Amino acid sequence: MRLASRGRIDRSVSLPFSFDGKLLTGHPGDTLASALLANDIRLMGRSFKYHRPRGVMTAGSEEPNALMEIGSGAAMVPNVRATVQELHEGLEAHSQNRWPSLSADLLACNDLLAPFLGAGFYYKTFMWPRSFWERLYEPAIRHAAGPGRLTTDPDPARHEKAFAHCDLLVIGAGPAGLMAALVAGEAGVDVILADESSEPGGRLLTEQERVGGKPAADWVAATLARLAQMDNVRIMSRTTVAGAYDGGVYAAHERVSEHLGARSKDLPLDCFWRIATRAAVLAAGAIERPIAFPDNDRPGIMMAGALRSYVNRYGVSPGRKAALFACNDDAHRTARDLQEAGMEIAGVIDPRSELPKGDYPVFSEARVVGTRGRHGLRQVQVQSASGTTSLAADVLAISGGWNPSLHLSCHMDGRPRWDETIEAFVPRPGAVPGLFAAGAANGVFDTSGCLSEGKRAAGEALATLGVAAPDWLLPEAENQAGSGKTLWLVEGRARAWLDFQNDVTAKDVKGAAQEGYDSVEYMKRYTTQGMAPDQGKSSNVNALAILADATGRSIAATGTTIYRPPYAPLPIGALGAGAQGKGFAPERFTPSHAACLARGAPMIEAGLWYRPSYFPAPGETTWRESCDREVRMVRSAVGICDVSTLGKIELQGPDVGLFLDFVYANGFSRLKPGRVRYGITLREDGHVMDDGTTARLSENHWVMTTTTAAAGQVMAHLEMVQQCFLPRARLRFTSTTDSWAQFAIAGPRALEVLNTVLDNPLRPEQFPFMACGAVRVGGVEARLFRISFSGEMAFELAVPTRVGASLWRLLLAQAEGFGGGPYGMEALNVLRIEKGLLTHAEMHGRTTAFDLGLQKMLSRKKDFIGRSASERPGLCDEGREQLVGLISRSREIGLPAGAHLFAPDAAPERINDQGYVTSSAWSPTLERHIALGFLRQGRARHGERLRLVDHLRGVDVACDVCDPVFFDPEGGRMR
């Protein structure tokens, strides 16, 4: 089925590949779809519901039918579009969703049951008998779900993720996109031109027209060569921009080596990009829409533009005799191209009365009312004013108009607007900040108009960047898009298909309206229209038009469903790139990591960080010896601890104070610059989520610290608050945990050690407790906070990460000169328990501010996340378990975390449980076993004796209840 003189394929090289075990050949430049058509294979798949035969329908990523399994074994990838998969030597493709074979699919018997399997049948059928759900219905549904299969073997392919930044992102490299990139590139801004095809150029590579006085493909080549010479322009082919997100961030999927037969082990299969841009031009083109008519789903029925693509770009004749059914001039363009390629034209069927003339049969005021052929089209029934005629044809090209590819403009909940002049939805300006639609994506379909649109959109984008667009002379091009007439549906007795993958018909949409599902969102879910892998790209607008007619509304009033990312399916492997092995749980090392290992410190995990447990000294044989020494060292002299793992979030803007007031339970907006405040955050259910300090460095610059384990959770919480509650707040925030190395200097001699490293030494009165400010260390800008997690005079000194390891060595050298040294996590935990300070052992998700004794921090003067829920009587009842301290009455037996508390004379059984232990330690300061825990009515029971039992460890010991602050309860030492 190869045409002798057409196509951009390399006929000098043959590429062997297989389809369902059959060995075939193609050429470089082919897609799998074009190669199969060239081998006279039209049956490529089965529909999901009725297993009806399906053939290729389009030539792009909107393809609903030709979904394949590519590869075998662990490397098999399901649901790959044959229209996107590039041919390479050794490609192994298999059809899917059939049994036992594609041509003899026994599951096609579902089609005979179609009268009983209409839209919504599952909502009615699977409700009875109730006992059948778990034993019959659910297993059957799960077995049948999904057109493709997933292998359970580990993915052998390598996937990558990457980040890119630019001034202007141009999405699509058709005429509008190329012109936009050219204008912006000449303006000198950084440009990324992304196109999902293997070869940029869009429809200019598939049409027989001229641009700038030369063949369109030659103009494309010249333009790409010019762009390639610009250092500020990056061309990314095989890259689908899949989503638009806040802050000018776009997701993109690049197919790196899917088109290569022999891949280097160092070459990834694909790459998931996060592109941050200041502005973007949407030049994604348009998608040709089909016409719903009886039996419009035969293999061999395809879009007119796709037929031209296969003929002009791939040199393939999808059939020997073609008919065309269209309500616009595009059908006649297709007929001329087919004639020039040597194909026979059975006829052009057009519902209009006044038609362009051509040297082929033309049926005016006519419609296709039926087709014949099971595994491939054989005949077309045409109804016109003169009666019904049968045409012998094995390919039927259809065109009902064009729908702009506006999906990205809707990804931030923007709704498109209906344009009556082109009978299609077009992007609403400003729906995505900084995104400017151009060309066919903006409803302009002629080449000259697309070039002009590209120039216009680039100029508008450049204006937002403060850059003047260069004066550019547009090349001459075709300036007539042709006329057309809207035709959504041809009525008939047979089924007219809308969603070809999910087997949704026009009758299903009408039935949904009759049953009360007349909202577009309800209709979508009731019928599954637009929920197939193509996400309704070819069928949604037709379905909306039929729904509008069924409900007596206009299409504009009916509206459209919400387009969500991704624009095209993304492999899960690409989304989770690198998330295997250590990539799944990466090891994070502090700036002091190497120095800690050199001192023999055992490392333990804290979140994803590795931190030193303790620092053994000569002669010490147990961790307790080292821990006790480190605690005494901090209490008597000075200790150094690397706290770089604390979450650090920087916030800037005039509304940060108001924002923090809503995030924190206590007030922050009146905090003065140069001061730090401790705060707690609640979840929406009123329970404590995290605690930490926030410092106000200047009027509009704040730094929030979080616990190590909750840094990601708090960042996500802040984003939720901004997006959902305070979207207009003037602020920005970002995580800077990895950007700053931070060290705690704690103990009576902390200030002496600190002053040895500061360029300008401090006096205590210059820097009171809970102060913060900028300092310099060896000429390096640093930040200093006077806060304490030990109960001693303490400071936290933060420097850029690049000098963190050097500062650690310097601080240790100075501290050892004052009788101090490093201390690890074990000592840190003992120090904080002695002071009754909290970690997520106590804030474990089931405790409230009332339980923790922090109820006075809940402001009564403002609203905040979780306030209403925290005031529920059940969350502040005196009978709740409350934070207490516990002291063992035995010097030998400790109070292990996880143990439970009972009355002295009660049996240690669940019904008698009074509370539990969350944190415990041997206190070298008090020389007693101490613990923190929760006890019913705990604050009123200080002084009571209880029985602590741990059945798992065999512990049964008496303990006394006390205040959770064991050491220096007045706080005199830290002041």
| Residue position matching structure tokens 């298999």 | 94
Q: Is the backbone of residue 97 left (phi > 0), alpha (psi -120 to 50) or beta?
A: left
Taking only the tens place, the pLDDT of each residue in 503-562 is 999 999 999 999 999 999 999 988 988 887 888 888 999 999 999 999 999 999 998 888
Percent of the chain with pLDDT strictly greater than 70? 100
Question: Is there a single domain that holds both residue 102 and residue 240?
Answer: no
- 132 belongs to a structural domain: no
Taking only the tens place, the pLDDT of each residue in 871-929 is 999 999 999 999 999 999 999 999 999 999 999 999 999 999 999 999 999 999 999 99
- 449 belongs to a structural domain: yes
* Rounded CA separation 310/338 (Å): 10
CATH number at residue 744: 3.30.1360.120
Question: Is there a single domain that holds both residue 165 and residue 231?
Answer: yes
Question: Is there a single domain that holds both residue 177 and residue 36?
Answer: no
Cβ atoms of 379 and 391 closer than 8 Å = yes
Q: Can you point out the beta strands (E) in 238-356?
A: 239-245, 249-255, 270-282, 286-288, 301-303, 321-326, 344-349
Domain stop point among 464, 488, 504? 464
Question: Is there a single domain that holds both residue 646 and residue 783?
Answer: yes
* Rounded CA separation 340/479 (Å): 22
* Rounded CA separation 120/19 (Å): 35
* Rounded CA separation 192/170 (Å): 6
Question: Is there a single domain that holds both residue 255 and residue 164?
Answer: yes
Cis peptide before 100 (omega within 30 of 0): yes
Question: Is there a single domain that holds both residue 648 and residue 764?
Answer: yes
Beta-carbon contacts of residue 756 (< 8 Å; ≥ 6 apart): 814
Q: Check residue 142 and give its pLDDT.
A: 77
Taking only the tens place, the pLDDT of each residue in 921-957 is 999 999 999 999 999 999 999 999 999 999 999 999 9
Domain stop point among 85, 106, 127? 106
Question: Is there a single domain that holds both residue 164 and residue 239?
Answer: yes
Question: Is there a single domain that holds both residue 676 and residue 798?
Answer: yes
- 296 belongs to a structural domain: no
Number of domains in the chain: 4
Helices (H), 857-959: 867-870
Taking only the tens place, the pLDDT of each residue in 715-738 is 999 999 999 999 999 999 999 999
CATH number at residue 47: 3.10.20.440
- 530 belongs to a structural domain: no
Q: Is it the case that residue 235 has pLDDT exceeding 80?
A: yes
Question: Is there a single domain that holds both residue 710 and residue 773?
Answer: yes
Can you spell out the DSSP letters for 207-218? S--EETTEEHHH
Domain stop point among 831, 864, 885? 831
- 962 belongs to a structural domain: yes
Element (H, E) at 227: helix 216-228
Q: Can you point out the beta strands (E) in 724-825?
A: 732-735, 740-746, 772-777, 780-785, 794-800, 821-822
Taking only the tens place, the pLDDT of each residue in 795-825 is 999 999 999 999 999 999 999 999 999 999 9
Helices (H), 424-478: 447-464
Percent of the chain with pLDDT strictly greater than 90? 81
Q: Check residue 780 and give its pLDDT.
A: 97
- 754 belongs to a structural domain: yes
Lowest-confidence pick of 327-336, 639-648, 653-662? 327-336
Q: What amino acid occupies position 376? A: G
Q: Check residue 120 and give its pLDDT.
A: 80
Taking only the tens place, the pLDDT of each residue in 458-502 is 999 999 999 999 988 899 998 877 778 899 999 999 999 999 998
Angle between helices 656-663 and 711-724 (to 10 degrees): 110
CATH number at residue 453: 3.50.50.60
Q: Whole domain around residue 704: which residue ranges?
A: 639-831
Cβ atoms of 211 and 450 closer than 8 Å = no
Residue of 738, 676, 746, 667 whose CA lies nearest to 704: 676
Question: Is there a single domain that holds both residue 667 and residue 788?
Answer: yes
* Rounded CA separation 391/79 (Å): 34
Q: Check residue 124 and give its pLDDT.
A: 77
Question: Is there a single domain that holds both residue 21 and residue 87?
Answer: yes
Burial readout 671-696 (b: 16 or more C-beta within 10 A, e: otherwise): beeebbbebbbbbeebbbbbbbbbbb
- 952 belongs to a structural domain: yes
Q: What amino acid occupies position 710? A: A
- 546 belongs to a structural domain: no
Residue of 258, 257, 253, 287 whose CA lies nearest to 273: 253
Question: Is there a single domain that holds both residue 679 and residue 790?
Answer: yes
CATH number at residue 909: 2.40.30.110
